[in-house]
Structure 1
Amino acid sequence: MAKLAICLLFLLSFLYMSGKAESATATDPAATNFIKASCQATRYPALCLQCLSSYAGQIQQSNEQLAQVALTVSLARARSAVVFVSNMTQLSGIKPRELQAVKDCINNMGATVDQLSKSIHELGQMSRATGQDFTWHTSNVQTSVSAALTYANTCVDGFTGPTMDGNVKVRIKSRVTDVAEVTSNALALVNRFAARHRASAP
């Protein structure tokens, strides 16, 4: 009975918080407009807006929060991609060359996850730093996100060639390309945050 009460309390709390988030998004067009304008600085603005608009209540009009959420979304998608690609090793009839490419991709996407995790930690340090320390942490974030992009692109490159024209290639390439595009957008928003932070510094 006690466990049931706790579960119900948790569910009600979740629904309440979800409702607050939706309300904040719905009643704050300024935040949505801020995200839309910021996304114009990215390579894939439509994808950027699609990924981040639901977090308007959290982002408000903060360049720092925008960069933080963008990296967090990238990390979540990269982790999901690792699971997705790992499941591909269980496909019946997969060719040896494809299987090796899948295994290499799992390693590369695991490295993408690691680099994005580092970038989120560094962004937290970056937001509290000033002067040369800010520049140093900014460089660390940029390096980590760029490395994450490289690993994702290396995964896709592993499926090039005439023997890689099957369903495995198509499905993995679609999933990993999505991660790369979202991560590219996140890097642009990190750069935007850094530029505006420097401009507003005394």
Structure 2
Amino acid sequence: MAGSTAMTISTTLLLFLVLPAAISAVPADLNKDFIDTNCKTTLYPDICYTSIIAYAGDIEVSPAKLARVAVDHSFNSIRSIALYVLNNSGKFNNNNDKTTVGVLKDCNKNFEDAVLQVQRSNREIRYLDFSVSKEALLFKISNVQTWLSAALTNQETCATELANIKSELHDKVVNSKKFVSIALALVNSYAKAAQAN
């Protein structure tokens, strides 16, 4: 009898230790699968997945939360490049070449616009009010889509101009453009999901 009591206690303890881990593993896997599936709809699925997977617990399986994280991440990326340009602008034109000066000036303006557009997107998606009508929600999402698309165009213009200079700045702009592209793709997916509901 004492043996069966010990066995029951051992089994109960084992269930208390193993069962919560097994239960919590299921949602985490679902979250990762959700992120993986959505990232595969972007132009840069590997970058998307590796940059967003750390937020799987926050995202759960919500297209809205996934879009928010992607826009926030793209804003952090583009802001980081803007600071880099600001702190290193003299480094990119040591010989005072007029063509390079013009390209850097144009690129700086395009990039400033892109930063503002992604910042607007980030603010808009962060404070979406889900209690408003479907039409109002879709209008706000379309604002985010428009601003991200414009930011992508500005970044593309800058990257094209910088391609002739062959600087490390070009590579950084191209990299930040990938994050804005990912954010736009995931916002587009969110718009489809919101439209369907």
**Same-fold status (TM-score > 0.5):** yes
Q: Mark the structure with the bigger radius of gyration.
A: 2
TM-score, normalization: structure 1?
Answer: 0.76
2:106 maps to 1:104: yes
Contact 2:103–2:162 (Cα < 8 Å) also in 1: yes
Which residues of structure 1 form unaligned runs of 5+?
A: 1-23
Per the TM alignment, residue 125 of structure 1 is displaced from its structure 2 partner at its CA by 5.1
Which letter maps to 2:75? L
Which residue in the other structure is 2:175 paired with?
A: 178
1:43-92 deviations in whole A, cap 9, x for unaligned? 11111111111111221211111000100010011011112223342223
- Decide which moves more: 83-92 or 34-43: 83-92
The structure-2 alpha-carbon separation of the partners of 1:124 and 1:117, relative to structure 1 and needing over 3 Å to count, comes to same
Which letter maps to 2:102? Q
Which residues of structure 2 form unaligned runs of 5+?
A: 1-23
TM-score, normalization: structure 2?
Answer: 0.78
Which residue in the other structure is 1:136 paired with?
A: 139
1: CA distance, partners of 2:125 / 2:79: 19
Contact 1:89–1:103 (Cα < 8 Å) also in 2: no
Contact 1:85–1:105 (Cα < 8 Å) also in 2: no
Which letter maps to 2:119? S
Per the TM alignment, residue 154 of structure 1 is displaced from its structure 2 partner at its CA by 1.3
Which residue in the other structure is 2:64 paired with?
A: 64
Which residue in the other structure is 2:10 paired with?
A: none
Per the TM alignment, residue 190 of structure 1 is displaced from its structure 2 partner at its CA by 0.5
Contact 1:123–1:141 (Cα < 8 Å) also in 2: yes
2: CA distance, partners of 1:56 / 1:191: 19
Match of 2:119 among 95, 100, 117: 117
The structure-2 alpha-carbon separation of the partners of 1:127 and 1:98, relative to structure 1 and needing over 3 Å to count, comes to same
Alignment length, in residue pairs? 170
Per the TM alignment, residue 197 of structure 1 is displaced from its structure 2 partner at its CA by 1.9
Per the TM alignment, residue 178 of structure 1 is displaced from its structure 2 partner at its CA by 1.0
Which residue in the other structure is 1:51 paired with?
A: 51
* Identity of matched residues, %: 31
The structure-2 alpha-carbon separation of the partners of 1:131 and 1:84, relative to structure 1 and needing over 3 Å to count, comes to same
